[in-house]
Amino acid sequence: MKQLLQVLAIAILFSACNTSVYKKGREGLEYKIISEGKNPLIKYGDFLQMNYATYYNNGKTDSLLDDTRTSVGPVIQMFDSVSTPMAYFEILRQLRNGDSLLIRIKTDSAFKGELAMQMPPYMKKGNYLLTTVKIINIFNDRHEADSAQQASDSIRNIDQLAKDDKSIQEYLSSHNIKAQKAARGTYVEITKQGEGPLIDTNVVAKVNYTGRNLLSGEMFDSNTDPSKGHVEPYLVNMTKDITLGRPVIQGWYDGLKLMNKGTVGKLYIPSTLAYGKFGHPPAIKQNEILVFDIEVLDVLNRSQAKIAAEMAEANAKIKQQKWLDSMKAANAKKADSLKGK
């Protein structure tokens, strides 16, 4: 319930129409429930699967602030009175499977006391904050809830992957780019073909890379640009041995299997194989398609990768120590200058 209530605490739905249709709750809350009344009421400790949308009404129109149907998808939260403020608990405990809930609160009540300074400048006192909630399902135990969440995420990923695939194809077509689609949906453009066997799950690839947002073209990371502070080849561990390198986004594993030693090209990665619905703020927004310039410098077997991983770790420790030494020297110099005053 915590995720929902963080929104409910500052936002809730509809214009200042006939207030008589709303029931009065605590702490300035008003609500109405649309229900057939057939299903059992939610019980303490149940798990609610729901979609919700939040709005701000300026007295004339409703402005959408958030909608799980177009952002993170349905959320599942436990219903209890520990994490749920009593004002909301008393409303939510009246819900049944399939119900719709509408809650509203004036900005004066939502942002009062210590919260007054947090009210966004576009909001005015006397206007309403609103939230609509649709109960999709009610689960009695965590296992059922977790299974439902996984299923929901899978369905959403399929839908999002289809959207991303269409966007990537349109981009490639408009830029006259020829690319091969990998097994899971990454598109691979080869500008220089390498030699030897294709990369598989028994090796570690040593690569140079630069990552950009597909639509804006803005660079967010690179191991060849000094401004990013880590100019050294990156080891992509394709194996399940965690000692041979750190994990990367799924699109890399997918696309690199169409490359070999010496290959130069690009990976066009759907958001579902990158940072997905959460993104990686501030550089990568939710559901953002990414493109990586990739150069495969070498392909290492397990023993070679082990040595390379150990060298990389040793170099990282040396760099960290140099940084610590420089900070100590700077602090000592500052302390000496203060003594001389």
Q: Considering only CA atoms, which of 163, 298, 186, 296 is closest in space to residue 252?
A: 186
According to CATH, the topology of domain 162-302 is Chitinase A; domain 3 (3.10.50)
Residue pair 294/259 in contact by the 8 Å Cβ criterion: yes
Q: Which residues of the chain have pLDDT under 50?
A: 1-2, 4-20
Q: How far is CA 85 from CA 82, 128, 223, 240, in A?
A: 8, 20, 48, 45
Strand partners, 291: 212, 268
Measured CA to CA, the distance from residue 204 to residue 197 in angstroms comes to 13
Q: What does the pLDDT read at residue 340?
A: 61
pLDDT digits (tens, 9 = 90+) for 58-98: 888 888 888 888 766 788 888 887 767 888 889 999 999 99
Q: What does the pLDDT read at residue 143?
A: 77
Helices within 120-249 (DSSP H only): 142-174
Residue type, 117: M
Architecture per CATH, domain 2-140, reads as Roll (3.10)
pLDDT digits (tens, 9 = 90+) for 65-75: 888 887 667 88
Q: How far is CA 115 from CA 70, 129, 264, in A?
A: 28, 15, 54
Q: Where are the domains of the chain?
A: 2-140, 162-302
- Same fold across 2-140 and 162-302: yes
Cα dihedral 238/244/245/250 (nearest 10): 20
pTM over 0.85: no
Q: What does the pLDDT read at residue 67?
A: 84
Residue type, 160: Q
Q: Considering only CA atoms, which of 320, 329, 333, 190 is closest in space to residue 267?
A: 190
- Assign 68 to helix, strand or coil: coil
Residue pair 26/105 in contact by the 8 Å Cβ criterion: no
Please give the DSSP secondary-structure letter assigned to residue 176.
Answer: T
